[in-house]
Structure 1
Amino acid sequence: MKKLIKSSRIYGEGGLMDGAILVEGGKIASLFQRDAIPDVDAQVFDYGDSRIIPGIIDLHVHGFKGWAAKTLDKEEVKNMARALPSVGVTAFQPTNSAWDYQVENNAAIADAMEEGYEGARMLGIHMEGPFYNVKRHGGTAAKDVKPCSLELMKQFWDAGRGHVTYMTIACEVPGADEVIDFCLERGMILGMGHSDATYAEAMHAFNKGVKVGIHSFNAMRPIHQREVSLYGAVLLDNRVYNELIPDFYHVCPEMIQILLRMKPTHKILLMSDSDAMSAMRPGKYNIKGVINISEKNGLMHLEDGTINSSSKYVLYGIGNLVEKLGVSMEDAIQMASRTPAELMGIQRHKGSILPTKDADLAVIDDEYESIATFVEGELAYDKATSPDLTNPKMYDLLIEAFD
């Protein structure tokens, strides 16, 4: 059945409008101004003056509400997909990271992608590692960093059955050039991250075709006045897309302002870097023998203070940018939806509200919380009726709650 979705604040590709979106067959069929809404046989959703924005596309997300992409259980990945629309996400890349079973992990995500599932669409597998520079291993255990190996990369690719679309790599480590060539030949998007690269080493990688700064400014050699390093390179090179975690913990507001002055919004993509503890009760969790701490203020870290993923999500970050930094809603939407779509080459059918595109829509309130989310025209989340999508087993790992 057709759907007619109304609001006085619809952020279409042509600008803000008061009217309605007609959805048919999972696509946006038409947009109507308020005084021209037709009398059609359709299911009507009237959201008053709540904002309707394009569905958020999160290309770098490890987990949410107790579900993780770093798993051998395909059902856990499917549950992650079901949960993400509760924060306006309509498409994502399940992101694993360096560990002993990353090959098998790719196979589990591929299984989930190829079988039926509900919720946000999986665009492909994002492998964050294991080919890091051990000097910048961040929240990943140093023991899990692997030497850059073409043979191992082939195993990752084969296990993912063509679904590995995006990879984080430290391009300065021995063997990286071979792996980069292999990945680019298969159409993968490559990003520099967890890297101690100099400016020259970074430019070598960008000239080869690497084109993303992974969680920009985190796990990168910092700028020095005589060597601006990868950190400087991702700011200066206009070919490079900048991933940005907008939670104000990973990157301070002042650094975000510098980025916004250096790069246009069509080169900046918001991403969460959230992990399974995101949106969970604050406290100390014992996850596979490692103590992970989620503070009441939202900061997540290991016992030694190392920031380890994010407890927040992109919709929260949109609120930070708009309300605290004065970024326009239109620019925030560009970075949350259109830019990631453009990077992945799917902008013809995702990333904005425009006729012929997928009806991926997030309805949000003025506190930047989700009211409803439509994925390809289907209601994937409704605040009033959707069940709790939290993984209850996650609380078995809670060893101290911060009430």
Structure 2
Amino acid sequence: MTSMIVSAARVVADGQVLSPGWIEAADGVLTGVGEGQPPRPADREFPSHTIVPGFVDMHVHGGGGHSYTDGVADEVRRGVEFHRSHGTTTSVASLVSSSPASLLEQIEALRGLVADDVIAGIHLEGPWLSHHRCGAHDPGTLRDPDPAEITRVLQVGDGAIAMVTMAPELTGALDAVEQFVDADVLVAVGHTESGYAQARAAIERGARVATHLFNAMRPLHHREPGPILALLEDPRVTIEIVGDGVHVHPDLVSYVAEAAGPDRVSLVTDAMAAAGMRDGSYRLGVLDVDVVDSVARVRDTGAIAGSTATMGVLFARAATLLTEGPNGLSDSDALLAAVAMTSSTPARTLGRADVGELAAGKRADFVVVDEGAGVVGVFTRGRWV
């Protein structure tokens, strides 16, 4: 077994910033992490850079010109490789709402990629969503959850489905939450017009994630706080936020990170095929999408259609954003918070104990970032990307 040692000005591990630090890996697994000088000369040195855990994106629809929403395995593979080059070493493939037959076809096409660890699971963002908050989903495919359909989805998924987004106000939704939870599938509340009590009921039934908080969701109101308060206040819920500067105001991202804590916030790209690509015309599921100034919108409605961001961009934005404002963090604390929101929190939420942190025994997934927190190197699955 030949080991590799990489040293850097800083290494983020075990909730600390090791300065300087080093990591050792062999056969794709971390075998050591430490501060100061490594036990032998490093194979790669980054004297002015920082090493952080590989990013974990639990909500992504595609990237690099490749879409996951058509359920084409080769397209997903290419999209995953694109995002890996930007630091995402673990990702969940998110699908959009579709007909019952199409949904099963897509799940069947992608489940093998979970077994091969190309993706960490499949996320069904629909079809059990609110018509009033459909966002970039075809309203003609939305429907109430049906126990028989869910049973078939779980059978075809064969353990590959990691998460499902559900609007809890739909007829049968609360029972559907329990049905998925009993099958060890994460349930997220999103694309919803629910009231506060309905969202609370979904959480009590086992919902544990907020799908892109604030977006496609009934807003806060002083007499009916709706789902946002219910999701924010419950310590059992992981809060997804699309931190691209388009979906949510930056100051609101900072507020949520402070109010809920980085150990409850998961930054997600919600990226579609246009991530990393030029402005132009694209598709998300069956909907036409126009990208102008890197902002994707559904052609017919103007609704935001996911993002064109990468986790590398979100990490850099968060590391900078959290140092600004009246309660700005120190550079080190902002770095630790950014790592939590892009790596350890989503990994823990997905139940992945092997990724999300730099520690002996974990998979050797790490990202090298420069002084501006930009990605300059990625190592995963035993190779430099």
TM-score (norm 2): 0.91
Aligned residue in 2 for 1:373: 378
| Aligned-partner Cα distance in 2 for 1:57–1:238 | 21
* Structure 1 residue identity aligned to 2:112: D
**Distance apart, 1:21 and its partner CA:** 0.9
| Aligned-partner Cα distance in 2 for 1:95–1:363 | 26
Aligned residue in 1 for 2:233: 236
Which of 185, 190, 203 aligns to 1:188? It is 185
**Distance apart, 1:66 and its partner CA:** 1.2
Alignment map for 1:244-323 (pairs within 5 Å):
244-285=241-282, 290-296=287-293, 298-303=294-299, 304-323=301-320
**Distance apart, 1:14 and its partner CA:** 4.6
Q: Secondary structure, in 3 states, of the residue corresponding to 2:319?
A: helix
| Aligned-partner Cα distance in 2 for 1:288–1:103 | 14
* Structure 2 residue identity aligned to 1:339: T
CA contact (8 A) 2:144 2:173 kept: no
**Distance apart, 1:380 and its partner CA:** 4.5
| Aligned-partner Cα distance in 2 for 1:369–1:39 | 28
**Distance apart, 1:156 and its partner CA:** 1.6
| Aligned-partner Cα distance in 2 for 1:157–1:133 | 22
Q: Secondary structure, in 3 states, of the residue corresponding to 1:47?
A: strand
| Aligned-partner Cα distance in 1 for 2:339–2:348 | 13
Q: Secondary structure, in 3 states, of the residue corresponding to 2:47?
A: coil
**2:96 maps to 1:93:** no
| Aligned-partner Cα distance in 2 for 1:287–1:62 | 8
Aligned residue in 2 for 1:104: 105
Q: Given the superposition, is the C-alpha separation of residues 286 and 220 from structure 1 closer, same or farther in structure 2, using an over 3 Å criterion?
A: closer
Quick check: 155-164 or 186-195, which moved more?
A: 155-164
CA contact (8 A) 2:270 2:307 kept: yes
* Structure 1 residue identity aligned to 2:110: I
Alignment map for 1:168-179 (pairs within 5 Å):
168-179=165-176
Which of 211, 223, 248 aligns to 2:208? It is 211
Aligned residue in 2 for 1:155: 152
Q: Secondary structure, in 3 states, of the residue corresponding to 1:261?
A: helix
Which of 18, 31, 34 aligns to 1:32? It is 34
**Distance apart, 1:29 and its partner CA:** 0.9
Deviation string 1:198-235 (CA, Å, 9 cap, x unpaired) is 00001111111111111011111111110000022112
**2:142 maps to 1:136:** no
Aligned residue in 2 for 1:387: none
* Structure 1 residue identity aligned to 2:12: Y
* Structure 2 residue identity aligned to 1:8: A
* Structure 1 residue identity aligned to 2:338: A
Q: Secondary structure, in 3 states, of the residue corresponding to 1:300?
A: strand
* Ranges in structure 1 where 5+ consecutive residues have no aligned partner: 382-403
Q: Given the superposition, is the C-alpha separation of residues 16 and 289 from structure 1 closer, same or farther in structure 2, using an over 3 Å criterion?
A: closer
Deviation string 1:366-397 (CA, Å, 9 cap, x unpaired) is 34432221124x1241xxxxxxxxxxxxxxxx
Q: Given the superposition, is the C-alpha separation of residues 24 and 106 from structure 1 closer, same or farther in structure 2, using an over 3 Å criterion?
A: same
Q: Secondary structure, in 3 states, of the residue corresponding to 2:349?
A: helix
| Aligned-partner Cα distance in 1 for 2:29–2:285 | 43
CA contact (8 A) 2:316 2:374 kept: no
Give me the CA root mean square deviation: 1.8
**Distance apart, 1:288 and its partner CA:** 7.2
* Structure 1 residue identity aligned to 2:166: I
Aligned residue in 2 for 1:396: none
Aligned residue in 2 for 1:7: 8
Q: Given the superposition, is the C-alpha separation of residues 294 and 136 from structure 1 closer, same or farther in structure 2, using an over 3 Å criterion?
A: same
Deviation string 1:29-76 (CA, Å, 9 cap, x unpaired) is 1123333x2237x8x122232221100010101101011211232111
Q: Given the superposition, is the C-alpha separation of residues 287 and 359 from structure 1 closer, same or farther in structure 2, using an over 3 Å criterion?
A: closer
CA contact (8 A) 2:83 2:310 kept: no
| Aligned-partner Cα distance in 2 for 1:227–1:286 | 36
| Aligned-partner Cα distance in 2 for 1:256–1:170 | 23
| Aligned-partner Cα distance in 2 for 1:289–1:181 | 30
Q: Secondary structure, in 3 states, of the residue corresponding to 1:71?
A: coil
CA contact (8 A) 1:2 1:24 kept: yes
TM-score (norm 1): 0.87
Q: Given the superposition, is the C-alpha separation of residues 292 and 367 from structure 1 closer, same or farther in structure 2, using an over 3 Å criterion?
A: farther
CA contact (8 A) 1:87 1:369 kept: no
Q: Secondary structure, in 3 states, of the residue corresponding to 1:49?
A: strand
CA contact (8 A) 2:90 2:120 kept: yes
| Aligned-partner Cα distance in 1 for 2:239–2:39 | 42
Aligned residue in 2 for 1:338: 344
Say how many residue pairs are matched.
371
Which of 330, 335, 356 aligns to 1:329? It is 335
**2:358 maps to 1:353:** yes
Aligned residue in 1 for 2:47: 48
Alignment map for 1:387-398 (pairs within 5 Å):
none
| Aligned-partner Cα distance in 1 for 2:146–2:286 | 28
Quick check: 267-276 or 72-81, which moved more?
A: 72-81
| Aligned-partner Cα distance in 2 for 1:373–1:167 | 29
- What percentage of aligned pairs have identical amino acids? 25
